[in-house]
């Protein structure tokens, strides 16, 4: 946990093998690395904790490969600082967090790290969120033992990570005039002036008991920027989620809705999913040394644009099986197998696009994970 | 210290919030990350120490953001190896250091790391120095207990880091003919031939007692390179500095002068500053748990070019307040607040340029630091 | 070793100085960093080990230098994930390895890491191999105590690292149709479909005793790809090697041959070398504190192309001297000095090209290494 006093080194890697079917083109198994992370966390001094995480995601790609392929960048390759957060927890019910961290929007996004997901990919609602940004937040994981938790944050007017509703040319430029990032160097590598526009996000949750955790969250960002399109609009996002479990049986469900995602006038997006997992080991249905967990998720994503008349949905049914090598340390060595059956794929296949984390062809995906 | 026998992991992150005033454009608070560092140091075998430091500076920016902004690179974003030094200390008075490390030029530059600066930004004299380069140096931190220290270095004919007098198209190309970096691959990733031109730097200092540490340093680099401009000139840089303190009161002052910075014929640059800091906790003027340190710096930078007739100065007055959460481990968790008032800004605002670390608009800057 | 239970942090840096002679151009000493590595390895849970290694090679170059030089990339600069391997060793004679790791081809390539090479550069046969790729392999380091070892691997149809026979525009594209890397984003950063073409590699070796270790290995990859040239061919590579030693005297020899390297029709390449090293310390010919090791290697590389009529050879004679500061921990602090005399250089100098690791001018190279 973040409260460990020493610098604790942690990390993990995910090696994947995938194959799609019905693409009417070359098909076969492809290997890759999903997430490769290294982090350090600990307590700087009593009351102040830190968590710095570096990433080398999509590491199947190296610069020489880029050159070979004759393209300047290959999808998925991404390295840098994933998280850099400093927390001042002097008052437990009113803690201050600063840095680059998760915008408090979405239950799966904020409660599950990349190494403890039920399925290889998060749900498609990731594209309706804001991922991570640079900012500050007040928060508490449990207000005075009531089971209530909250986080209220202010961020630069965009998401630092791509592929979501808050990262867009309509909205993203976070800096203002003077010595900022446009036309004149910042001071010593630090951007010196903002745009006066912010991304605000808030989350409120309640953990009643293991059976029920409910949560509501929302975020908004100004579209008005000096390079914005005339028609760009403020972005609003909402999410409600519920999860819980008992004796190895777990459920999670979320509904998300965005107005003007990416600042696009007339656009709306919605997503909902229901996921179930049954840990046969916790249910004592398997031998003591065998930790298997079947899981299933049904998700539906919908994108509407009043201006263009587009109204496209995509459904993904994911059937999964998780195998934890050691039940006592399940995420240290883990194998995950997913088979995804997409439906309502016509629009997406025609336009050769897909929502984030959404499959538009039948896909078998296998992932090996080891961590420390 | 570098003499620790095991590999010691160290690092820190700096989260910033800044706002400029009077820019006649959009203004507001902007968040960011200044320096994010991870390092390993220790003793390889008795007598041989190492220090490798990696950086992810300007981490508010990730590749996806770059794409969103539609620019190929955003100022400040910089990652890579900050330091890679191996030291052979068999003879204490005559030690050999090789690798990428600080060119011995400038008191603040060489004596203060990024995580123990008095102000959020170093002084503007950074642009008159050479930052880091690849090379070798003989040195001693204290010659036979006399308080005298020195470092004499030879480096490739340029600075590896940008934004200073020794990094320029007039001077920087360090490699020669044959299997070097131009036109033909080096051997196994190693540049195989130099240009026969070098950056030489030397420093001599004396630590009399806590009240007085004086130091003089200088460096020169050849401008003559096979791609040089006809008018490019050798670069010469000088620095004198003094610092000291007693019972929580500290002072530091430097004067720097360059001839032909960046190899530009007819150019000269000068800089001087005086800085004071008063640690109220060491002065026992605050309660035992409160470690506050007001600080102030006045600095003046001047740039002259005989060829173009430019003669522009810039003054920065910085008022600071440092708060160390734990007086026993001050840099592990630290908050720094600076307000900078620039004067003589006309030339710089008109030309939309600024010396490194120099502010040309009134700026409020706040920095949170945590490290281990 | 990989069997350590905790996360073990390891790493090293190599600082170089080189000078070429007879180039008929500017010559001089040039400094640089060869390999700078940081890794974590350990046992995730009993039976599952991991090894993740990150690199910042060619670190004499930073982004600002790139800009200074006015070029978009400088040879040798390379950072990213060097290795990301997870090993399932439940059955010692039949272990499964997945991730990014060395293709089992070539004795020096697979048995010697970058920090324990006899010479500063590997032999030129590196260009006839496949370096690292993403895939899976079955292997055993010693089948039931017989001294026999093997590895059989399947990889994406190319080498992830450049400058070798299996990395080429004729062969490299590893992905197929659907949600792969061409034209449409992969899912959550993971490539989702392969091309149905693979790189297969196998190695079989026998360690009789310290005096003799023999090994044979081979690999092949399909050239047929949807962007392939009409004339591109499947690549085949073979390698036989032998090594051994007694009381400080060591030898190693390899012969390698490729058909259609890089998928080029009509091309063939061969390479052979013999290397000797004599550790004077192990031979007790030096004082106890002095660990010196002279070494010599003669290597000959030949490239033939039936279509173009090219038939060019290059010979490199390398004379080396290794100095280990501490005989008990030789690679923790090491200095290597090499002088290379190339012959048959006419073709290469005229065309301004060189085989990987091949010198075409007389070169003096010095390397300082420290590690932990």
Residue A67 has pLDDT above 80, yes or no: no
The confidence band for C232, taking pLDDT boundaries of 50, 70 and 90, is confident
Q: What residue in C sits closest to B86 (Cα-Cα)?
A: C370
Tokens of A118: 């039920």
Residue linked to tokens 């089992």: C104
Listed residue (A1, A157, C28) closest to B29, CA to CA: A157
- Cα distance between residue B67 and residue A134, in whole Å: 17
Listed residue (C266, C272, C275) closest to C235, CA to CA: C266
> How far are the Cα atoms of A130, A183, C254 from residue A186, in angstroms, in the given order?
25, 9, 55
- Cα distance between residue A80 and residue A64, in whole Å: 19
What architecture is domain B8-177+196-371? Answer: Beta Barrel (2.40)
Residue A31 has pLDDT above 60, yes or no: yes
In the stretch 163-202 of chain C, residues with CB closer than 8 A to chain B read 163
Residue linked to tokens 């420390």: A372
Chain B contact present for A41, CB below 8 A: no
Helix (H/G/I), strand (E/B), else coil: A197: coil
Q: Which of A35-49, B77-91, B311-325, C323-337 has the lowest mean pLDDT?
A: B77-91
pLDDT digits (tens, 9 = 90+) for A278-317: 999 999 999 999 999 999 999 999 999 998 999 999 999 9
Considering only CB atoms, which chain B residues are within 8 Å of C70?
169
Q: Which chains touch C (3 or more CB pairs under 8 A)?
A: A, B
- Cα distance between residue C334 and residue C330, in whole Å: 7
The DSSP secondary structure of C275-316, one letter per residue, reads EEEE-TTTTT-S-TT-EEEEEEEEEEEEEEETTTTEEEEEEE
Chain A contact present for B1, CB below 8 A: no
Query: Is the torsion defined by CA of B315, B319, B325, B326 positive or negative?
Result: positive
How many CA atoms does the CB half-sphere of B304 hold within 13 Å? 10
pLDDT digits (tens, 9 = 90+) for B317-372: 999 999 999 999 999 999 999 999 999 999 999 999 999 999 999 999 999 999 99
Q: Do A122 and C161 touch (CB under 8 A)?
A: no
In the stretch 59-88 of chain A, residues with CB closer than 8 A to chain B read 73, 78, 80-81, 84, 86
Helix (H/G/I), strand (E/B), else coil: C249: strand
Q: Do C40 and A70 touch (CB under 8 A)?
A: no
The confidence band for C163, taking pLDDT boundaries of 50, 70 and 90, is confident
Residue A369 has pLDDT above 50, yes or no: yes
Considering only CB atoms, which chain A residues are within 8 Å of B20?
176-180, 192-193
- What element of type H or E holds A312? strand A310-324
pLDDT of residue B75: 38
Fold of A8-182+195-371: Porin (2.40.160)
Helix (H/G/I), strand (E/B), else coil: B64: helix
Q: Do B360 and A176 touch (CB under 8 A)?
A: no
Tokens of A292: 């298997």
The DSSP secondary structure of B8-31, one letter per residue, reads EEEEEEEEEEEEEES-SS----EE
- ipTM attached to this prediction: 0.92
Residue linked to tokens 């196994």: B188
Residue A227 has pLDDT above 60, yes or no: no
Tokens of C70: 């006015």
Most B CBs within 10 Å: which of C79, C348, C370, C371, as the mutation test of the B interface?
Answer: C370
Helix (H/G/I), strand (E/B), else coil: A145: helix
The confidence band for A181, taking pLDDT boundaries of 50, 70 and 90, is low
Residue A32 has pLDDT above 60, yes or no: yes
Q: Do B36 and A190 touch (CB under 8 A)?
A: no
- Cα distance between residue C184 and residue C190, in whole Å: 12
Class of domain C8-176+195-371: mainly beta
Chain A contact present for C160, CB below 8 A: yes
Most B CBs within 10 Å: which of A178, A199, A201, A232, as the mutation test of the B interface?
Answer: A178
Distance between alpha carbon C287 and the CA centroid of its chain, in Å?
A: 34
């Amino acid at each position: 946990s973040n409260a460990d006093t020493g610098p604790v080194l942690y990390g993990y890697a995910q090696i994947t093998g995938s194959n799609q079917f019905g693409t009417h083109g070359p098909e076969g198994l492809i290997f890759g690395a999903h997430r490769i992370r290294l982090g350090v966390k600990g307590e700087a001094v009593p009351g102040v904790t830190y968590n710095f995480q570096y990433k080398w995601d999509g590491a199947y790609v190296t610069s020489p490969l880029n050159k070979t392929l004759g393209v300047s960048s290959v999808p998925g390759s991404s390295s840098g600082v994933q998280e850099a957060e400093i927390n001042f927890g002097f008052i437990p019910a009113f803690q201050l967090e600063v840095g680059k961290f998760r915008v408090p929007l979405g239950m799966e996004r904020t409660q599950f790290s990349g190494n403890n997901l039920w399925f290889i990919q998060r749900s498609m609602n990731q594209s309706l969120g804001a991922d991570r940004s640079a900012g500050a937040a007040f928060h508490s994981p449990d207000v005075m033992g009531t089971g209530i938790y909250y986080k209220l944050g202010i961020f630069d007017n965009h998401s630092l990570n791509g592929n979501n509703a808050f990262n867009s040319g309509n909205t993203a430029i976070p800096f203002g005039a003077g010595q900022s990032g446009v036309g004149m160097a910042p001071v010593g590598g630090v951007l010196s002036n903002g745009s006066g526009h912010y991304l605000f996000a808030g989350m409120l949750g309640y953990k009643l008991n293991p059976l029920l955790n409910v949560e509501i969250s929302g975020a908004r960002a100004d579209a008005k920027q000096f390079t914005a399109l005339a028609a760009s609009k403020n972005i609003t996002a909402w999410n409600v989620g519920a999860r819980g479990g008992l004796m190895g049986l777990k459920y999670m469900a979320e509904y998300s809705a965005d107005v003007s995602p990416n600042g696009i006038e007339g656009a709306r997006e919605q997503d909902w999913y229901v996921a179930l997992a049954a840990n046969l080991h916790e249910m004592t249905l398997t031998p003591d040394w065998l930790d298997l967990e079947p899981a299933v998720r049904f998700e539906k994503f919908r994108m509407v644009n009043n201006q263009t008349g587009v109204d496209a949905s995509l459904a993904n049914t994911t059937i999964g099986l998780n195998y934890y090598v050691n039940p006592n340390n399940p995420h240290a060595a883990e194998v995950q197998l997913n088979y995804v059956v997409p439906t309502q794929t016509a629009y997406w296949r025609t336009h050769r696009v897909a929502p984030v984390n959404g499959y538009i062809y039948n896909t078998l995906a296998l992932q090996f994970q080891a961590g420390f």
